[in-house]
Structure 1
Amino acid sequence: MKKTYHGSCHCGAVRFAAEIDLAAPSLRCNCSYCLKIRCWASLVPPADFRLLAGEADLSEYRFGEHRERHYFCRHCGVRPFGRGDSLRSGPFVGIGVNCLDDASAAELAQIPITFVDGWHDEWDAPPQETRHL
């Protein structure tokens, strides 16, 4: 069931609210970027996301085909969310699950995780090894 969660970067300059169903699978990817930032994201439609503060405090990073915009706070470096447009599922906002301020540890522990093999462009299959993700 969707619930409104609030999140932020580490210093609090960037704050957001999003309607998220934490019972829906979250995503962990092994592409070159996600692996380095240890990405753990819940994907939501853009209409379910609201940036509450800090638009001017965000910097953007793009790579590869530039389909995804990875935002991070220019003060503390934390990446609270990103935006993308998947060929399979359309536009989305990827919420950094670890940036949710009002999700309890028990809620976070229950989130199902889907692993995807972005390293090999196999988005419908998990990588052979996931323990490090």
Structure 2
Amino acid sequence: MKYQGSCHCGRIAFEVEGELGDVMECNCSHCQRKGFLLWFVGRDQFRLTTPEDQIATYLFNKHVIRHRFCANCGTQPFGEGVDPQGREVRAVNVRCLDPVDLAALRRIPFDGRSL
């Protein structure tokens, strides 16, 4: 299935293709404060549909995940990183996808706070 996503103001828009199943709910200081529900997909499943010039990057902790956010509205629709097998992945904030029934998603807790 193909999903459309965006930041709040629409300056960052993207498409992501795949079967949306379980989502990760991390308790690290960053994810918990922002309420992220993350769906990890391969780089080839994700396509930015707007110019990248509105996207800012936030790095913290080990600086291995590029947390991408809108320089205008502040929404963080996705992050970029590498999985344990060395593949490029995108961590899509499913709260930025339309339409998704968030209550129907199975949330998998992840203890990022202890890392």
TM-score by length of 2: 0.92
1:15-34 paired onto structure 2 within 5 Å: 15-22=13-20, 24-34=21-31
RMSD: 1.5
1:98-117 paired onto structure 2 within 5 Å: 98-101=95-98, 103-105=99-101, 108-117=102-111
Task: Provide, for residues 38-68 of structure 1, a one-character-per-residue CA deviation record: whole Å limited to 9, x for no partner.
Answer: 1111110110000000410000001111110
Q: CA deviation at 1:86?
A: 2.9
In the alignment, structure 1 residue 6 sits paired with structure 2 residue 8 = no
Identity of aligned residues (%): 36
Correspondent of 2:114 among 109, 116, 120 = 120
TM-score by length of 1: 0.80
Structure 1: how far apart are the matches of 2:33 and 2:83?
21
For the 8 Å contact 2:94–2:100, the answer to whether it is kept is no
In the alignment, structure 1 residue 37 sits paired with structure 2 residue 34 = yes
In the TM superposition, structure 1's runs of 4+ consecutive aligned residues that sit over 3 Å from their partners are: none
Which residue number corresponds to residue 74 of structure 1? 71
Structure 2 unaligned spans of 5+? none
Tell me how many residue pairs correspond in the alignment: 115
- Helix, strand or coil at the partner of 2:81: strand
Structure 1 unaligned spans of 5+? 122-133
- Helix, strand or coil at the partner of 1:53: coil
